[in-house]
Every structure is written in C-alpha cells, then in structure tokens.
Structure 1
Amino acid sequence: MRVMLIQPPVSYPGEASMAKHRLPVLPPLGLMYVAASIEVDGGHTVSITDGFAEDFRPKHQPADEYHPEPYMRYGLSDKALEAKIRRMRPDVVGVSKMFTNLTNDATNVFRITKKVDNTIITVAGGPHYTMSWKKDMENQDINFGIIQEGEIAMLRLLDYFGNDSEVEGIPGLIYRHYGTARLSAPPEFIKDLDSLPFPAHHLVPPPSYYSAIGSGHGSHSTPGDVSATIIASRGCPFKCRFCTTPILMGQGMRYRSPKNFCDEVEFLRDAYGVTSLSIEDDDFNAVQSKFLGILKEMVRRDLGVTWSPPNGMLAAGINEEAADLMVQTGCNSVSLALESGNKRVLQEIMRKPVSLSHIPKAVKWLRDRGIRVMLFLIVGSPGETKAEVMDTWNFAKKCNADWYGVHIFIPLPGTELWGECIEKGYMPKDQDLSQLKFSVANITTPWIEPAWLEDMARKINLDLNFMDNTNLREGKYEAAKRDFERVLGLYPDLQHAKDALARAVMEGGLY
C-alpha cells in the first residue's frame, strides 16, 4: 500500500512568532520510526511530509473555519499540502497530533485529505491523540487512530487492509463499531527497542536542513554544527500527576543496548555528517546502570559528537562519575527538572520525586566540568499558594544554574491534574486546547489570581536570567554573552536582554 505520513504545519494567531511559543523545529522522530517499521518489516511504499519544516517561512493567512482571527502559518500552505497529497495518491494518510495547543492544524490536514479523495484511509496518532482520542474521534474525517506507540499497530492495520484480516485484537488501535469509537485491544509496549529499524532518516530533509532552520532545541551547538535527534530509551518510572509520559510511553523504563544506540550515532555521523545530538528521552538517566553503560560505550567508540538532553534529566541521577562521563562523551548542555522549590508542592501536588538538597550539588558538578545547566521551573500548579511560588524563586536563586526555564502550569489532557482542574472548576470543561500556553495562567484557583501569576512568572524570569544572572555574577562574561545573544536571536526587541548583553560586554571587556 502507498502510505503518506504527515507532520502538520504550525499556525499561530495574529502576528505571533514561532519564537514566542518556543516550538523547536525538529525531525518528526515518531513518524520516522513508524515509517521505518512499515517500510522494512511490511514492505509498503512510504513517504513522510514534514508540513512544518518544509517551505519553512512565515505566511500571513486570513481567518478561516479553524482560525477565528488572521494567523501566521509556518510550513506548507493548505494549497501546497493539498497538491502534495494529490501528487502522492496515497491509500493511507497518517497524521501526527503532537501538541495539544496545535490540534487544529492536525484537524485541518484531515479535512484537506478527505477533500482530495474521500476514500483515502486516515489514521491519527501521537501524544495529543493518545490523551484525547475519544474527543478527537468525533471528527468524522478520522477513520482510525493509534494510541501510545505506533510501530506495531500501524503495521498490523495495514495488514488488515491488505489481507482482509480481523481488526479486532490489534493493540492500541481505535476504530468505529457501528459509529462508536472503541479500542480494539489494550496497547502493547515494544519491549526490545533494538528490534526496531533505525528511524527513516532518508524520508525527511537531511539533518543539515533542520539545523539551518533552528533544530537545536536547547542543544547549544556551535554555528556550523549539524544536529540530529535520537532516543536511547522510552518510558518513565514515576507517576507525576502533571505529566503524560508514563501514559504515553508506559510505567517503567526500556533502553536500547549501548551498541545499538552507538551504531545509530555512527550512522548519523558517517551518512549525514552529524556533529551534534539532541537526545530526546524524557528520562535518559532514570536507570543509572543503563545510562552509564551507554556513556561508557560512547567513550570506548570515541564517536566525536556533542550532545544534550533538552527534555530534562533527573538531578538524582547526577553524581561525579556520571558528570565525568558526560563531559568525556561531549555533553555540553543539560536541562534538569526541578519544577518546584517547595517540598509540599513536589510531594503532594506534583508527586514528583525530587531531593531539593541534591539539586545544587548536581548543578555544581556539571558546571564545574563546563556543562551548561538549565533548570525547569513550574509555577501556579493547582493548590499552590503565592508563598510557595516565592519558595521556588528563592530556592532557584541558590542553585546557581546558567539559565532557568520559567513556565506557568499547563493542565495536560488525561493527567491527574487535568481531571482535578476540571472537577474543581479551575478551568472550563470545554477548555479550548489551542489556547493553553506556558506564558499565561491557564487555570484560576482560590489561592492565586491569574494576573498575579503571570506578573510573578515574568519577574522570576527577569531576575534569574537577566538581573541576577549566574554567569554575570560569577564573572563568566563569555558564557553570559552567548546566552543573551541566543535570546536576542529569538526576541530581537527584548530590552532587558539588550541591557544584560551590554553589561556582559562592558564588564567583560568583550568589545
């Protein structure tokens, strides 16, 4: 069968820029894994259309059915996407629904597909679809869906089309039974990740293309680097109440073998000239022995690449041995998931296993070895008080990280805290998912007014990253200058970034 997998274009309301929403431009790794499986194991003809990265330039668009106001489109226009579907003439179109606030763009792809040919079989998948498939299947333009991992289910679904086999029993498949969406069989996670073919890099633009349009996603690679994405593991051993990862990838950890992981790194380096890796795991170092095993194999094979884990690592898994191996293997930047500096918020609201006393140690071990550290912070969780927000601010100041990602709490569909926010009336039951953003108050609680929270998040960011910037305070002016220049590359008119850059240049004599 001819299968076309599509990463939707991205649309932002009004004149909003992509930088404002902090959305990285990365290869669609999930679709690339699915494509490899159905191409190698199923013998099907597969293509991938990255509607976001292809023709990547902003386009002003008028209001339409899915966008109540004029908007900015990044990637393929509707006309270009329609023409591509007509040219490919697929039997099946699979669409990735990655992010909750971009669900309208995926809906639009299904509409265009059915406009081209109503007999094309459409399949939805991805993180957002997994968390909200019952709602999404109200869209009659979607014929089937796959929740959680898609490699096996998509292959089995294509077998069903080709051999007239039974749809019942396909793990993770959503189908309609007399008009009602239902789950065919519980999803099954792939236990042996080494059994999967490498992602289909040959079906998307080369890593050099993504690097040129900004695929770093926190990797802090130097200009001229060719960056690629890769994963070493899937899953999560924890049960944080705000996070979707245990639902999407399963409770517990599954790792690739060190050899298999490093084989792909060598392939990317030799075939595409990759010099920098963005390791997209959610919990790369959750199992210390597995994490160190991969690092030791990287040292043994002297791969000659740099790397960073932008989605965050566990501070508890950082010790001096790990930090030594990380720097030996080329790690140049790490994000650590602190989230809150208040013990009650961590334990009772988030249910996140963080040892606050260990965070400053982990930051110091990494920074002493030249690894840049960013701490993730979340403020405004349901039940959090103003005093507890201030605790996070004050604790973060003691950690002396290079940078801080300050985010306002977003309730994600399917999580415990999403249900709590709906049940207690902190947000409407018919919440417009496209309006959820890290930069605004997404819920209203009895403890914190939205205006106060938004103002406080801005103040925390201004203080930690600019006014009391760690590198400025420590006299590390080159490092401070690089960070401020990165910020101004995204936000050219940000005055406090200009002021901080001027201070770094003046005090450091970096004329």
Structure 2
Amino acid sequence: MKVTFVNPPQTSSKYKFMGVVAPPLGMAYMAAVLEENGVDVNIIDASAMEMSWDTLKKELKLSNPDIIAITALTPTISQALKSAKLGRRTCPQAMVVMGGYHPSFNFQEILQKDYVDVVIRGEGEYTMLELVKTLESGGDLSRVKGIAWGDTVTPSRPLISDLDELPLPARHLLPLENYTFLNLKSSMTTMITSRGCPMQCSFCASAALHGSKLRLRSPESIVDEMEYLVNELGIETIAFMDDTFTLIPHRVKEICQLIKERNLDVFWGCTARVDTLNEEIIRTMRQAGCITIFMGVESADQQLLDGMNKKTTINRIRKAFEISRKEKMRTIASVVLGMPGDTYSSIKNTINFVQELKPSYAIFSLATPYPGTRFYHQAFEENLIKVKDWSKFTLLSPIMETVECSLDDLKKMQKKAFFSFYLRPSYIIHQVRMDGPVLLKTIAAVIRQVI
C-alpha cells in the first residue's frame, strides 16, 4: 500500500509565531516505521511549504495513495478536516485517516464527517503500521488497537516503552530548508529525547497524550541522532521538544559530555523547569552548544501557580533567570494570562514580573483549555469556555473569561503585555547587541500577530 501523510495548509501566520516553523516530527516517526516495514510513504508538509489548496490537490492526485493520513492540533482541526474532504474528492479510493492531539480526544466529533474513515488515538507509530498491514491482508480492523471508526472504538494501545527501538524520523521526506527557529538563518530541525511527564501541570496536552510516566531515550541514541543530523543533513540548529528536557540533570550532563567528546558543531535549545536549573547545569549545557532555554513562568501569583499544579515558587523562577543571565544564556519566558482566579491586579503583576526577569524573549499566551487536559475538564464542567470555535484555540485568542476580566479585557491585556515587553528602549538596545537583526524580525512578527 502507499501512504501519504499530510500536514494541512495554514493560512494564518499565528501558526508560525515568533519565527518558528517546526517539522511535523510525529508524522516523520510514523513514516520511518512504515518505511522500515516496506511501505511506500511520502509526506506533504503543506504548512511549511505555504502550499495552496489547489497545489495540495495536485500533489495528492500525483501521489495517488491508498491511505491519506492527516495530522491535527486543536486550532488546526478545521484545516485538517478541509484536507480530509479534499482528499476524499481527489482520491475517492483512498482511506482517510486522522490523528494527533485533537482527534485523539475528540474522535467522536471527527467521525461524524463522512470523509474521515478512521481516527488514530494516542501514539501512532505502531498503530499506523498495524492498520496498514491489516488493510493489506484484508484483516479485521477491530483487532487493531488504538483506533476508532464508525461506532467502533478499539482498546487503547500501550505506550511505547523503549523509545530507542524507534527508527530515526524520516526527515528525508520533509522540506528541511523550510524550517526556522526564532528567524535564525540556519538549517534547523527538532528532536525528541523523551515522552511523558510526571509533573502533571493542569493545562498540558502533551502529558495527556503521552502519559505521566517518563520514558527516556538513551544519551547514546540521542547524540547518535545529533551526529547524523549535523554530518549527513547539514543541520546547524536543533530544538529539543521534550516536555522538560532538563528533568533529570545527570542525564543532561551525560548528553552534553557526549556532544563535546564527538566535537559536534551544532547549536541547540531546549525546554526546562526552573527548579532543575543551577549554575553548573546551565554552564555545562552552554559549553555543549545550548543557546536557548524555554522556561515556563506562567504567573507571578503563587496561588495561581499552585492551582496549575506547577510545583514551583516565584523565588525559584526568579533565581533560574538570574542564573541564566549570569551564564549569558538566551531565555524564553512562557506566560499564561487569564487562568481561573486571574484578576486585573494579578495580570499586571505578572507582566511587571516578566520584565523584572529580563528574559531574551517572552510569550504571553491566553489561557486555553485543550481537550484531554484536566484544565479542559474543569473549564467544561464549570461552563467557563465562552468560545467554541476550535480555530480560536491558538493561545492568542481569548477563550475564557475570569471573574474580573472579559474576553475583550484579556485581549487588551495580552497586547499590553507584548508591547510593553518588546518596545522598551532598554530591551531593544540590549537585545540588538545580543541578537542583532533576529530581534527586529521577531518584534515585527509579534506585533503583527497580536494586533
């Protein structure tokens, strides 16, 4: 059988926020598993290639697959469904399959469309392989774990316990030249070194999909992949997309030591919890090529942090950014405005607090309850969700009101947060010295996207 994966076209710049265009790593992993088992596969990353719907139609017709597999996040579900409908019309003989975060938790909604045949729930690598092999042999779909079709929902597939057994993502099927990070003019890609997160922040969709048990790749397999990316694909920048790359400090040190032993000339960035960082670990990471750390700040209100189950403190957040500045590490502060309990005063304090932290960049998201998370169940049960249009679930559009703040109030405060952070003369002068033209592009992108 022939399988074509589709990352749908995106007509809004909101999906390329702050100069980031990332490869669809989940699709690349599934494609690699299929290729390893003799299946004919291709990937159409219509989003990264800024592909029109007419062009996607031509590409599908040219590919003429037996299965069209489409990925979807919550804010991109309308584009995914449009792609599915287009696929049905263009290749009527093909089975249309959909997977990803949103379909995994909202499969009943997706299957109401007569142009979607099957939904893959949860991790898709081996589910997709078993689905293909079952269709090839004319077998019984009800035996395939982790799928839903019609009124049938099969038992969930166990999570992949040994991540080292997965082949490297099929990046040769992706338009590598189209991916960027913070507008950096370098070839970049993403990597995953773990799945699952034991921290269980209430709003985290990734933990909802991949579970609370932390599953780790070995340091050797991670650096083997980095070496391949640098030496074979000419990659210059890698973004580690783990929920928390620094969760186990001694493992981070081992990875950094292997990077230095192999003399890998590569820049990289990662996610971190503030309570996992100290001078030694940041210095070790910087010496191994780390240039950016993404940290969840969320709020300056300790009660709100506790309500999100962040398990950290304001003082620990402040200390992590102080250490990072001392070690000359670029930082990105991630903030959420409008969580239940947020007030005018607490939001203003959070905006001021972020400026005091002096991160290199800041992202001020609006509270968005994604399906599958504890936050979504809370918001749904308490009737807090005021916007039902999934395309608005971008973190840049207000979805919920708080006791004090209306949807319009929250949007205005988000704009104020971005503008007051990025348009400070002292910030611009300092960051231009550090990042030069990259900063100017980022500021322009931010202003365009939050207006």
Cα drift, residue 22 of structure 1: 5.0
Q: What does residue range 54-203 of structure 1 map to in structure 2 within 5 Å?
A: 54=49, 75-97=50-72, 99-176=73-150, 180=151, 182-203=152-173
Give 1:51's aligned residue: 46
Q: Distance in 1 between matches of 2:234 and 2:283?
A: 26
Where in structure 1 are there 5+ consecutive unaligned residues?
55-74, 497-511
Instruction: Tell me, yes or no, if structure 1 residue 426 matches structure 2 residue 422.
Output: no
Where in structure 2 are there 5+ consecutive unaligned residues?
none
Query: Secondary structure of 1:376's partner?
Result: strand
Q: Of the candidates 342, 345, 349, which is equivalent to residue 384 of structure 1?
A: 342
Cα distance change on mapping 1:382 and 1:325 into 2, 3 Å: same
After superposition, the CA RMSD in angstroms is 2.4
Q: What does residue range 276-425 of structure 1 map to in structure 2 within 5 Å?
A: 276-309=237-270, 312-348=271-307, 350-425=308-383
Instruction: Tell me, yes or no, if structure 1 residue 244 matches structure 2 residue 205.
Output: yes
Q: Of the candidates 30, 34, 37, which is equivalent to residue 33 of structure 2?
A: 37
Could you say which structure has the greater relative contact order, defined with CA pairs below 8 angstroms and 6 or more residues apart?
2
Query: Secondary structure of 2:394's partner?
Result: coil
Check the 8 A contact 2:339/2:402 in 1, yes or no: no
Query: Secondary structure of 2:75's partner?
Result: helix
Q: Distance in 2 between matches of 1:488 and 1:163?
A: 54
Cα drift, residue 104 of structure 1: 1.1
Cα drift, residue 328 of structure 1: 0.9
Instruction: Tell me, yes or no, if structure 1 residue 485 matches structure 2 residue 440.
Output: yes
Instruction: Tell me, yes or no, if structure 1 residue 3 matches structure 2 residue 12.
Output: no
What do the CA deviations read for 1:194-239 (whole angstroms, capped 9, x no partner)?
101101111122x3x124xxx21x4x64x3x221221111111122
Cα distance change on mapping 1:380 and 1:491 into 2, 3 Å: closer
Query: Secondary structure of 1:168's partner?
Result: helix
Q: Distance in 2 between matches of 1:394 and 1:25?
A: 29
Check the 8 A contact 2:121/2:156 in 1, yes or no: no
Corresponding letter in the other structure for 1:48:
I
Check the 8 A contact 2:360/2:431 in 1, yes or no: no
Corresponding letter in the other structure for 2:391:
S
Query: Secondary structure of 1:374's partner?
Result: strand
Query: Secondary structure of 2:294's partner?
Result: strand
Cα distance change on mapping 1:240 and 1:427 into 2, 3 Å: same
Cα drift, residue 483 of structure 1: 5.7
Please give the TM-score of this superposition, normalised by the length of structure 1.
0.82
Structure ID, larger Rg: 1
Q: Distance in 2 between matches of 1:436 and 1:492?
A: 19
Check the 8 A contact 1:338/1:354 in 2, yes or no: no
Check the 8 A contact 1:235/1:283 in 2, yes or no: no
Cα distance change on mapping 1:328 and 1:387 into 2, 3 Å: same
Cα distance change on mapping 1:76 and 1:401 into 2, 3 Å: closer
Give 1:27's aligned residue: 23
Q: Which moved more, 1:248-257 or 1:289-298?
A: 289-298
Corresponding letter in the other structure for 2:193:
A
Count of residues in Structure 1 that have an aligned counterpart in Structure 2: 450
Cα drift, residue 168 of structure 1: 2.9
Q: Distance in 2 between matches of 1:442 and 1:33?
A: 32
Corresponding letter in the other structure for 1:175:
W
What do the CA deviations read for 1:394-417 (whole angstroms, capped 9, x no partner)?
332332222221111112122222
Please give the TM-score of this superposition, normalised by the length of structure 2.
0.93
Check the 8 A contact 1:255/1:290 in 2, yes or no: no
Corresponding letter in the other structure for 1:51:
A
Cα drift, residue 119 of structure 1: 2.5
Cα distance change on mapping 1:165 and 1:20 into 2, 3 Å: closer
Cα drift, residue 372 of structure 1: 0.8
Q: Distance in 2 between matches of 1:80 and 1:316?
A: 47
What do the CA deviations read for 1:116-153 (whole angstroms, capped 9, x no partner)?
23221111111221232221111121111111211010
Q: Which runs of 4+ in 1 moved over 3 A?
A: 17-24, 468-472, 480-484, 491-494
Query: Secondary structure of 1:262's partner?
Result: helix
Check the 8 A contact 1:145/1:175 in 2, yes or no: yes
Cα distance change on mapping 1:146 and 1:413 into 2, 3 Å: same
Q: Which moved more, 1:158-167 or 1:139-148?
A: 158-167
Corresponding letter in the other structure for 1:134:
Q
Cα drift, residue 183 of structure 1: 2.4
Q: Distance in 1 between matches of 2:52 and 2:375?
A: 36
What do the CA deviations read for 1:422-449 (whole angstroms, capped 9, x no partner)?
3323224x81111233333221232322
Corresponding letter in the other structure for 1:464:
F
Corresponding letter in the other structure for 2:178:
Y
Check the 8 A contact 2:294/2:334 in 1, yes or no: yes
Cα drift, residue 169 of structure 1: 4.0
Cα distance change on mapping 1:269 and 1:23 into 2, 3 Å: closer
State, as a whole percentage, how many aligned pairs show the same letter: 25
Q: Distance in 1 between matches of 2:105 and 2:356?
A: 37
